[in-house]
Structure 1
Amino acid sequence: MSLDNNDKKTLYCLADHASFNDERGMLIPILEKTFEGISSVEADSFPNNGRIHVTKGYSRMIDSQAPSAIFKVEAGVSYGWPPDDDDHYNKKSKFSTYDKLIERAKPLEVTKILPSTYPNPEKSSGLMCESKFYPPEIFFIEATNNAGIEVLIGPVSLASDSVENFGSGYRFSYNGFDKPVGGGDWAKIMQVPHSSLEFEKSLISEFSIVETEFGGYVVGPLPHLSAILVDLSTNENLLNWAHKQIRSSDRELPHKIALLKDVAQNVALSENLPDNIYQIRKERLTHLHESLAKMEGFNQVVIDFLSSDEGSKKIANYVQANRDSLLDAYAVEQKSSKEAEIEDQLKEERRKLNTSIQELVSDEQELQLKIEDLQKLETSVEQADLEKIREQRNITLDYVELQGAKKQLELEVEALEKRKVETEDLMQAVQRNINRSQQDHQLNLIELKNHLDVLSGYSEVETSPQVNIDESAKFITPRGNDKREKRQNLVEAIYDLLSAEGRLISSDQITIFLTAIAQNLIVTLAGNPGSGKTSSVQSLAKAFGLHMNGKYIDIQVQRGWNSDKELLGFHNKLTRNYEPDKFGLYQLLVDLNRLPVEQQLAFVLLDEANLSPIEHYWAGFMGATDSVNAQLKLDQINLQLPKGLRFIATVNYDRTTEQLSHRFLDRSPVIYLDEHEDLTDILELRPQESVNDPLLYSCDTVIDLFGRTTGDRPRFLDLRKVCILNSYKPLSVVRPQSNFSPLIDAYTIQTPG
C-alpha cells in the first residue's frame, strides 16, 4: 500500500458498522504502527469524531469479513482540512483513505485478548468466554491457572455458530486449532491438534501487549521458550482420537466388551504427542469408558454380538444362573419405587393442606384489618361531616360580607374610572399644546442657528449619506404562461427563499403583503412593540435584493417632526443651496428618477412613524397618493415621484404616540400585528447568513402582477377581515384601538384578476 502524503499514518482499525453506505463509511482506529513499534492511538490525533473516513469501496471491504475483523490501513489528511466553519468542523474526519489502501490484518499480527476463567475441556462449559464486544476469529485468553499465576493462553479459535447475546454483550465457545497455525515460534502446536500455549504474564515484555479502549491486544513477540503446551481437547475430540487409534489397531473389539478400560489403557502413542499430553488424554479416556460405547460403529458391533448364537447363549446362561437374585432385585426395586411414589403423594397432600391453612389464616387476618379500618372510617366520617357543616355556614357568612364589600368597591372603581377619563383628556390636550409649542420653538431655533452659522462663516451641515444604486442589476422574469401562473411562481420563489433561511411564512400571507405594497404608495403595519413590524419589512427588502442595490432606507422617526423638511431637507436661503436630509431620501429620489422605470423599485421604512403626526412630516407625499404622475414640490425644487417608490410605516399602540388621522387612513391600508397573529410568524428572522441569492424582479413586474386592475383606488368598508380574491384565504388586519377612528375598522385590498 502507498499514499502520497507526508502526514500519512499506518493504523489498525475496526469497521464502524453503524455509519456507512455502499461506497463510504467510517473506520475506528485502535492501534498505530510507527518505526518504534505498535502502540495505542492518541485521541488528539483524530479530532471531531475519532474516525477515519473511507471515501470509496467501503461495503466491498467489509461484506466478506467478520464483524470484529481488524484492518491494516494507510490513511492521510483529508482534503480541505481544517474545515472553514465550526458546523463542519464537528463532523469532518481529519484522516481519510479508500479501499486500495486497506487490507485484512494477518493472523497473529495483532491479536485480541479476552479475560476468562482457566480452560477446562472436561466440562461442557469449560471452554466458554464472555465479552461486551463481538469476538474475533482468533484471540488469546487471559486467566489465572491452578497455581494462582496470571497467564496468557493462545492462540485459540472461535467455535463456529457459538456466539449468542448475553446481557449487554456476547457469550461464546472457543477451542484449540485442529489444523496447524503459524510457524517459527508457533511450531510447538503445529503437530498437536486441539492444543495451545500458556505464557506467564510476568515474563511477557511490556511492549508486546497494548491496552486500548476496546481491550488489550498482543502486538509483539511472546516468550515461547518458557511457554507450556496446553491440551484443549474436548470429550468429543478425545473420543474421536481414541476411536481412530482403536480402529487402526489389530484388536478384535467383539471379544473385548468386558475390557473397555483395558482397551483405553492400551491406546498406542501416536501423532508424536508430547508425553505429558499423551498421559493426560489416556487418563481422561479411562473415565469415559461408558461413552466409548457411543463411538461410531461400536453400537453396531454390540448388536451384532448379541444377535449371534454365542451372544444369545451367554445371555440365557446368565439369566438362568441369576434368576432368583434377579427376581428379588426386581421385587425390591418395585417396592422401593412404590413406596417412594406413595411418599411423594403424601408430601404433596401435606403441602397442599399447609398451604390452604396458611391462606385461611391470612384471609382471617386481612378481614380483621378491614373491620378495624371500617370502624376508624366511620368515626372519621362523622367528624368530617360536622366540620363540613361548620365550614359551609362560615362560607355563607363570608360570602354575604364579601358581596357588600364588592358593591362598595364597584362604586369606588366607577368613580375612579370617570376621574381617569377626565384626567386623560386633560393630559392629552396639555400634551398637544406642549408638542405644538416645542415644534414652533425648534423650528425657530434651527432657522436662527443657520443664519448665525452663515454670518459667522461657520457651516457644519450634516450631510446626507451617499446612496450607491447598482444600475447593472439584471432582472429575472417569473415563469408562467399567464399572470396567474407568474404571480403564483413569484410568490413561491419568495416563500422558498425565506423558508431556506429558517423564516416561517405562507404563500397567502406573502400575496397579501405584496398586493398592499403594489397598490399603495404607503402601507402601515400596526402593533405593540416587539410584534415584528420592522423585521418583517427588512426581510422582504432583503428578499428583493434592495439592500444590496442601495434601494432601501431605514428612517427612525423622531418626536417633534412637523414638516417634510425632516425627511427631504430644505433650501438654505442664506447659502442659496439645497440642504438634503440626513437619511438619504432626497438623494434616493434624484437617483431613481435617473433610472428607467423597471429599476425604480425601492422601499423606505418609516419606523415608529406615529411618534409625530404623519400627515405633517409626510405632507409632500400626501397629495401624490391621489395622482398617477405626481410631482413633489420641495422648497423651490420639483421632483417626479418614482413609480416604484414605496413607503412602509410602523406604528405602536401606546399613549406616547400620535393618533392616525382620517386623512392618512384614507390613503394607507393598515395591517395589525400582535404577539400571536403577526408577521413575525410569517417572516421570523433568525441570526444566520443568507444562503440564497436575492430575487431581482423589476418594478414593472411587481406592479403588473399585484397592482390594481382598474383606476379606482380601494375603498374603506365596515369589515374586520381583508378578503383576498382568487381563492386566497382571509388575513386578520387592523383592529379598532384608541389611536384609530372608531368609524374605520379595516381595509379591503384589491388583488388583480
Structure 2
Amino acid sequence: MYTKVIAKKGRSYPKNPALGVIIPIFGFDEATGTYIHATREMYPDDQEIFIYAGYAQIDHDIQENELFEINDIRRVNDPSKSCQYSAAANDYQQLPFTMFIPIIDAKFDVNNKELQAVHFNSFFFIRSGNSIYGPLAADYDNNNKWRPINRGDDRFENVYENLFSHIEDNHDCVLQFKVDTFNEGIIGDYVLDLNMLLQSGKYTTIYAGTKEDTIAWARTKLPNALAASKAESDFLKKLSTFSLPNITLPSEKQKLEAFSRYVGEANDVINVALPNLFERYLESDAGRANLETYLAENASSFIQEYRKDEFTAADRELKSKREEIDALELQAASLKQNLEANNEKILEGVDEGDKAKLRHIIKNEDQRNRFLKLFDATGVYESVQVKVQQLEGKREILEDDVKRRQNEVNKLEAQEKAVKAAIVTVKDKFFKEEDFATRLVETKIYSDILNNIEPVSLHEKNSELQAEYKVLDVHHGNIEAIEFINEITNRLDSLGRTINPNDVVNYLVSLHQNFLTIFAGLPGVGKTSLVTKLSQALGAYAFDRFLAVPVQKGWTSNKDLIGYYNPITRRYQPAKTGMYQLLRLLHKDAENGQEYPAIVLLDEANLSPIEHYWAEFSSIADDENKRPLRISDEHCLKIGKGMRFLATINYDHTTEVLSERLISRAPIIKLSKSDIGLSDDLPAEFQFPIFDYAKLDYWLREQRESYKVDVKTRFESIIKKLEEDNPALGVPIIVSARKQRAVEKYCAAASPLMKMHSPLTALDYAVNQHILPLIAGRGDAYKKRLEALHEKLQSMPISSKHLTNIIQAGDQNFKYYKFFY
C-alpha cells in the first residue's frame, strides 16, 4: 500500500454526497521515486479507497476520467468495514495537465478521425502499432472524432513556451513518437510527462488538418486578390490562374499535397457532379413538381415582367420598322431622281418644242408605256419601274406591320390603365381611414371566435375573478439563508435534478435580481426542464403561479403575449397564452396584500424579437417596485414584486438575434449538458410549500460588506481592459453603468451564500453571464483585446474557459468573435 496515489473519481453515496470512493491508478514508491501501476492485490476491496469527508468537492472540481493526486492514504484494519483504505478530500490536488496523459489504443488515420467516444477533458494520445500519436483532443462538436492541438486551446498556459515551440510551426499537425524510444516515459495507458517527449525532439510531423484548415492555410500563401474570395467555389475556380510559392517545410509539403487533392475534388464537383445532379433532379417527378409550384406561386410577377418586356420589344420593333420605312423612302426618292435624270438624258438633242410634248407623254402613264415600247433601247426605264414597284410593295407591307404593332401597344396601354384603375378602386374600398379600423376589428373578432378565444370584460366581475383561490400551502419555517439554499437544492434533487449548490445560488440570485433571466444553450441541454423544476422547487408550479408560454414565430407585439382591448365591443380579448389570466391572479394577490413568487417561462423566446412582444414588460423591468401594468388606455393591473420571466433561447439560423438593449437588461446563463444532472428514473410530481416573497427578498438580499475590496479591484481592472481606447486592441467593449451595477449587486448577494473556492467565485459567475454576452467583434486586433481580457480572468475558471471557447470558435469563423458561437 502507498500513502500517496494517483487516482480517478469513483462514485458518491446517493444519500450523502460528502462520502464516496476513488479508484487508485498508480502508487508512488518513495524509496525509488517512481510510480507503480496499482493492482487489485495492492487494494483488494474492489480496488477502491473510501473518502470519508469532502467527496462532493472532488466530484465538483475533478472531471470524469481526470487523474488527481491524493495523500495520506490510511489502512482501516477493521474487518467489519467494507473498504479497508480511506482518506479525506482535503489531501487531494489536481495534477499538472502535462502529466499522466491518457493513451487510447486505436487505429490512427489522418483521413478518418472517427474514434469511440472520448471522455477526456484534456488532451490524449493514440497508440497504434509501435507508435503513439498526439497530442490530440476531442473534436469541438463531436466526441467521436479527434482533432490536433493548436494555439489557443484551453489549459495550455502553464507550458506555453515549451509546447508551442514544437507545435507553432506545425499548425494542425500531429507528432509521432516511437514507443520503444520512451519506455520509461510510458506507464501502462498513460504518458508520464509530455515535456519529456517534446524536449527529446525525437518525433515525426504528420499533417492532420481538415479541408477548411487546409484552404485557410492556402489563403495565407496566395495573392490577396485570390485569398479574398469568400465563396469556396469561387476561391477554387480562381486557383488555375495562380502558382503556389516554393514550399520547404515537411509539414507544409503535406499541407500542399492535401490542398491539391481538395482542389481536384472540388473541380470534379463544380464541373461534373453538380450539373449532372441538377439535371437529374429537374427530370425527376419531384423536381418538375417543385418547378411547377414555383412558377405557379410567382405567376403574377412573371406576367408583370413579361408585359414589361413585351412593351419594350414592341417599342423597339416599332422603332426599327419606322427606321426601315425611312430608309425605303430615301431609296425611292433616290430612284425617282435617277428616273428624272434618265428622262432628261433621253431627251438630250431634242428641240425644246418637242421636249415639252415628250415630257407630257412621260408623265402620262398610257402614253409613256406606248412611248417606251418605241424608244426603250437600253431597258433603263423597265428596270427602274420594277424596282419602284418592289419598293412600293415593301412600303405597304411595312406600313401594315406598323399599324398592327401600334394596335398591340394601344391594347397593352389600355390593359395597364384598367389594372391601375382597379387597384385604385380596391384601395378606396378597403383602405379608407374611417373604415379600415372597423374592418380590422371585425376580422379579429371573427378570427378569435373561430379559435375559441372569448373576450372578457374589464368592468364586470366575471367567473374568473369570482373563482376561489387554490388554497396555498405557505412555507412557515424559520430558517436562515444557507438553510434555504439547502432546502431548494434538496427539492431539486428529489425532482430528479442534481445541481451543484453554487449553481443553485446563481439561479436563485439571478432570478431574484432580474425581471428577465435568459437561459441559453443548444437543444437538448435541459433549459425548459430546469426552469420548470425551479418553479416547482419554489412552490410556484403547484399553486398556479407558473406559466409556460411557447413563443411562436411572427409575434410582433404584446397582443400576441397578453391580448388587446377591443374599443368596439369594449371588452378585453385575451391571447391564448394564458398570460392575461395569470396577471389577473397576481392582481388579486396584490389587492389582498400578498406577495408570492410567480414564474413565466418564455420557451424558445427568440423565435420572434423579444423586445417587440415583451415591450410592455420591458418598460417596467428597471422598476424595482413594479408599477402597475397598463393593458389599455383606461385599465391597469398590479403584478406585485414576485413576478419573474425566465426565457429559454437557442442560437441558430432559425432564431432572432438578441438586441443590445435586451442584453443590457438581462443576464444570460449558458447551459451545457454537463451543467444539469439528470436522473434516469424521474420521481412523481412533488407539491412543495410556496415561499413568501418577503422571505425570499430577505434571504437573497444584497450584503454590501460582502463585496470585498479585492473583488471590486479585479472587476474594475476587467472594465478598464474592455473599454481601453487602443486601436491595437480593436473596437472597445463598453460596459454600461446598469451592467456594472448588476455585477456589484450580484456579488454582494451571492458571495455570502456560495461555497467560495476562491474570493472571486461570485465575480466569476457574474462576469460569465453579464459581461461576456457583450462580446461581438471581428479581426486580429479584437482578438488581442479578448486575449488581454483572458489574462484578467485568472482564478476565474468558468468565465476563463468560456472566453477560451469564444476565441477558438472565432478563429474558425473568419475571425468573428461572439458570445453565441
Q: If the TM-score is normalised by the length of the shorter chain, which range does it land in?
A: 0.3 to 0.5
| TM-score normalised by length of structure 2 | 0.34
| TM-score normalised by length of structure 1 | 0.37
Select the structure of larger CA radius of gyration. Answer: 1
